[in-house]
Amino acid sequence: DMTVDETFSTTLSSTVTDILRLNDGRYVIVGNFQTVNGVSRKRIAILNNDGTLDPSFDPGAGFTAQVNRVVLTPANKLLVYSLTSTAYNGVAKKYYYLINLDGTLDTSYDLPTKVPGFNPSSQCYSTIQDDGSVILVGAPTALISADNPNKTTVLRMMPDGTLDPN
């Protein structure tokens, strides 16, 4: 039997595209929303386990475009992915951001803006390995052709955001 927890209440201005439950019971939500419970939280927020906004996570200006995925790294940071080029709290990067649980940007993580044969603006999926490396699977537009429309690329990013040299 599943029952609805009526004590959990959150009001969002738009859609949520991904949700992540943290080890302490809080939830990270990402999407295209502008406000959470009437408070400005552009496209990323952390909710307490009762649905209230966690004020300890301050994303500042937040994201300028929709966010699609969020995963927790072994270092207890949020790896956030957007299908489009966006900026986070005024910092323009491409596609991936590493965010601390207080909302500050980890600037040590810098995914290359151009990876040969890989186009993260198309459909992309990712997972985190135990060492903090990220496996990316996506459509390599340079390799897509009428003869092979379903070919995909798999890449491994090291914990610091650099490409795996192997």
pTM of the predicted model, to two decimals? 0.77
Question: What pLDDT was estimated at residue 61?
Answer: 94
Question: What pLDDT was estimated at residue 57?
Answer: 97
For residue 141, pLDDT beyond 70: no
Dump strand ranges (E) for 5-141. 16-21, 27-31, 35-36, 39-40, 44-47, 69-72, 78-81, 86-88, 91-93, 96-99, 124-128, 134-138
pLDDT bracket for residue 114 (50, 70, 90): very low
Q: Which is more confident, 55 or 126?
A: 55
Question: What pLDDT was estimated at residue 124?
Answer: 64
Half-sphere exposure of 109 (CA within 13 A, CB side): 24
Stretch 58-87: mean pLDDT, rounded?
87
Stretch 38-64: mean pLDDT, rounded?
94
Stretch 90-112: mean pLDDT, rounded?
83
Average pLDDT, the chain: 79
Q: For the chain, give the percent of residues with pLDDT over 70.
A: 79
pLDDT bracket for residue 19 (50, 70, 90): very high
- Sequence-ordered list of residues with C-beta below 8 angstroms from that of 91, at least 6 positions apart, any chain: 105, 107
Question: What pLDDT was estimated at residue 150?
Answer: 54
Question: What pLDDT was estimated at residue 110?
Answer: 65
CA distance 85 to 94: 5
pLDDT bracket for residue 166 (50, 70, 90): confident
For residue 21, pLDDT beyond 80: yes
Stretch 126-136: mean pLDDT, rounded?
77
